[in-house]
Every structure is written in structure tokens, then in C-alpha cells.
Structure 1
């Protein structure tokens, strides 16, 4: 099933027998490059709507729902583990099957989307012209993570945190984006986006929180693997981080940028979701990364 709204195509894109992704593509007859947006928890592809539309006059824009999110597939864990490494494999298959020219591609990845993008870049340095990442946990540094995220990684509290999050869907969707920000920094997201997250929360056999919890159950293993392979990361990377991030402290981004010799942009007054709080800045970052890619 697919449908078009002006130059926008929304459809379901088969990756393999277990995974079909809901995706959105904004086409351009003469694109100066391509951008692929990768969302975080508890988002869906609708997080990128305004940003994608702002870029579509010059670029081809892609976004999809990760497995376990939105309206994408949610296979049982004996078929798909929801680990960062598995998400990296899904990302690789999507880029190949969608026929994206990686020499003209920028990947913009946040939160749970960022580690898979970097894991893939370690294995395939030419997977993108540039990768922009931020507000995630590349290394196993629990001291830089919120207590709830620390507890999701391992230990006896993991199942309790998962159960509590599952029972508090409405509170999470209402407050997660602005929690910890001062009143003057509060911002609104669209009702369409909220409705899309709510509608997709329990789509299929598991909830979005279940998928998130499965991701975290493998997180330390994949963080450690990434850190052990840093010397192999050759794809140009820029790190963009909200200075007021409540969930993953800025020290994580500072260390990542230093370790891989990447440009770091610390955004004053911005929390964990820079693309929602300051979408114009995200548009500008993408345009800067793709400058000069037109043929």
C-alpha cells in the first residue's frame, strides 16, 4: 500500500521476510543530494515532517519507522533481537534496496538511531558522505545516563522500569520531549505527531517500550563493540548535542567527538531532542553537510 501527497510518498517497504518498514520519501527531480533521517524513542517518522518539507525543494528526503516503532514490523525476538547491530543491518538493507547514492547521502541520526548508523559505518565506510549524530550513548558510560536508562541496561530493575513505562504511555508522550527544560525553553510538537506515536505504540505483538527494552538489553555489548572498533571509523561524522540533555549528558558527546576527531556542536538551551526544539538548526546542519554534492 502506498499513497502520494504532492511530492511525498508514504508506503511500506519490505526489507526481508520479517521486516517491512513504513517510510516516507520526498522526491525531487534534480536533487542536490539525499538525506536519511533516523528517529529515536518514542518517535516515529512523523518527527521529521516539517524538516523534511523544508529540505525537499533541494534534496531527496527519506525517513522510516524503526522495527518496533510506528507502523513498521514487530517480529518476535526469536526472529529479530532489536539490538543496535540488528538495526544497523536494517539500515544497510534499506539504503541498498532503496537505491540511494551513498556518495551524496547524509544520515542524520539521533537517540537509538545513532549507534546503528555508526556501527554500519565501521563496517562500510562509504555508507554515507556524512553522518550527523547526537544525544545518544555511544560508549558504556552509565554515569552519563539518566537513572531510568541505566536501569534498562541490566539488573533486577530492568523489568520494573519496562512495566512502569508501558503503563505510563500518555504521560511519556505528553512530557518526554520537554522534561527537565525550564519554562522558557518548553516547546510544542504537533498533534499529528502525538497521534502517530500513540496509534503506533501497541501496533502488532509488542509495544514501543518493549522494542526499546529489547534494544537496551543488548546495548552494552554493542557499545563495547563500537568502542573497540573506533579506529575503523572513517566516514566523516559531526556530533550535535543538546547542552541541556536530561537523558544523555553532554559529556558523552564531548568524549565521542574527541575520540573520533569530529566537529562538535553543543547547542545552548537545547535538550535531548534538538530536531524538535530547534528544527531550523537541523535543516541548516543538513544543508551544510550536503553543500557541493549536486552533479
Structure 2
């Protein structure tokens, strides 16, 4: 994609006393609706810049850095736990304070962004006209998750994995997006995006990995809660998944789609980050959600 966004579209937006989000907003003269993109680990809103630019002619596009990522706030854990439920509250407040018309909103959420979107939809079925999710862990199914992710959830290995990941920042940012893919399927992300993740890795006493670890320490609780509330999930949902996802196996997505009777699309040859590996497909999914 050759689309570029104007850096003037990126700024800061306070949603509470403790949290100010860095966000991107691309406005269309006559929007057919609004799309809100929610990133995963170790990303920032820069993951969506080119995709957003490709859609901005027809839609109002929003994206923000989660607390703990990019240049958004990083409150102390006694003020904000970084749990999926906390992120669901951030999402709810953002939609309300940004004055987004939920009846014309598609949420596209991946990785750590997806469970918060669904937790919010359980409580507020009209929070969006459609939600697209993929490559995340809606249920507590350790057998479908990479070992290091299993170890982040609990137990004595948690602190060790967190320390190793913090030490390996450069290696993670270099290889996380293409790990496990065959050589011919590997792809590049922009240097601008890499630089932004690197700059935003550490703010004060908290790193992106620390925020990720806090999220995982509450993950099982929030997964279990979500599973007990599945019957309340009424918002139209589509599940998409990279067939070659090394981190969270496709069986996780297939189970979610089957249990909530959602459309399930498996993307052949694609890994954990479909929006980076095949951004044109993400653009197409968003456009299709408004038809």
C-alpha cells in the first residue's frame, strides 16, 4: 500500500483522570460509517496508518494506543490493572468521549484488543454495528497457545518470561511479526512503525512487556467470565484467523465462531498479523462489514 497519513491526524485524547490516549483520527467529507482499529502486542496505532489512509476516503477512521503501549498513559497498577476488563472500560469511554455513533461503527480488533471488544459487547450489544476479531484467545485453552504465552498467565515462570522478553526488545521488534512463517511468506513493516514501537517501549517505570504481563496475569479470569456470558453476545461478529498463526492456533477461532454462530474465515499462508501481512484483505473486510 502506498497510502500515507498526515501526522496532523495523530494527537492526544484524555478519557479519564489517569489515562490519556494517543490516537489517530482520519476524517472523511462524507463518511459511510466509522471504523475503530484496536492493535495487539507489541504494536502501536502506527500498525493502522496505511490501512486507515486507504479507507479514509469513505469512512471516518480511529485508532489509539492501548494504555501501556506507544505514547498512551501508563498508570501504576494500583490505579489501572491492565486487565482485559480494564481495556474494555477504556474502549467504552473512548467511544463515548469521541462521540462515535455506535450504530455506524465497525470495530476491528486483533490480539490483546479483541477480548476487551467482546467483553464490552456482552455488556452493551449495541456498542457497534459489527465487530471483526481474530488471532486472540477468547477462552482459557492453553493447548492452543504458544508456551511462552501459557507461562505468562500464571505460576513461577511468569516473572522469568517477562524478564526475558524485556531483555529481548530488539529481537522481538525485529522478528515477532514473521516468526514461524516460511521464508517466502515473510514481509516487512515500515521503519516508521518499527521506530515508533521502539520509542514507545518504555515510559517511566513500565515497559510494553510489563503492560502485556499485567494483562496476562488477569487473562484467565476474564476469559472464564467471557465464556460464561457467551449467550449475551448479540453484536454481529466475524472471526478471521491466520492459518499459520504460531502464537494462537486456529482451533481457538474456530471454536469461538462455532459457539456464537459467527462467520469464520481462515486465511491461508497468513500468520498472527493478517493486517500487516496482507493489509488489502483487512481493507476489504472493513468495507464488507458496511454492506
1:194 equivalent to 2:189? Answer no
Find the aligned partners of 1:25 and 1:207 in 2 and give their Cα distance. 25
For normalisation by structure 1, the TM-score amounts to: 0.96
Structure 1 residue aligned with 2:129:
129
Q: May I ask how many residue pairs the two structures share in their alignment?
A: 287
- Report the equivalent of 2:79: 79
Give the equivalent residue in structure 2 for 1:159: 159
CA distance in 2, matches of 1:223, 1:233: 14
The verdict on how the C-alpha distance between 1:130 and 1:8 changes in structure 2, with shifts beyond 3 A counting, is farther
Mapping for residues 62-141 of structure 1, pairs under 5 Å: 62-141=62-141
d(CA) in 1 for partners of 2:204, 2:276: 27
Residue ranges of structure 1 left out of the alignment (5+ in a row): none
- Equivalent residue, structure 2, for 1:168: 168
1:169-199 C-alpha deviation (Å, 9 max, x unpaired): 0000000000000011000000000000000
* Whole-Å separation in 1 of the counterparts to 2:6 and 2:183: 37
Question: In structure 1, what is the equivalent of residue 22 of structure 2?
Answer: 22
Q: Which runs of 5+ in 2 are unaligned?
A: none
Q: Distance in 2 between matches of 1:164 and 1:6?
A: 36
Mapped to 2, the partners of 1:160 and 1:41 lie a distance apart of 18
Cα drift, residue 6 of structure 1: 5.0
On the 8 A contact 1:75/1:205 being kept in 2, the answer is no
Normalised TM-score (structure 2): 0.98
Q: Alpha-carbon deviations, 1:113-162, whole Å to 9, x = none?
A: 00000000000000000000000000000000000000000010000000
After TM superposition, the runs of 4+ consecutive aligned structure 1 residues lying more than 6 A away are none
CA distance in 1, matches of 2:183, 2:170: 21
Residue 247 of structure 2: aligned partner? 247
* Aligned residue in 2 for 1:273: 273
Displacement of 1:20 in angstroms is 0.3
Q: How does 1:28-67 map to 2 (within 5 A)?
A: 28-67=28-67
Between the aligned partners of 2:285 and 2:205, the Cα distance in structure 1 is 37
Equivalent position SS for 1:107: strand
Q: 1:205 offset after TM fit, Å? A: 2.6
Contact 1:145/1:249, CA 8 A, preserved across alignment: yes
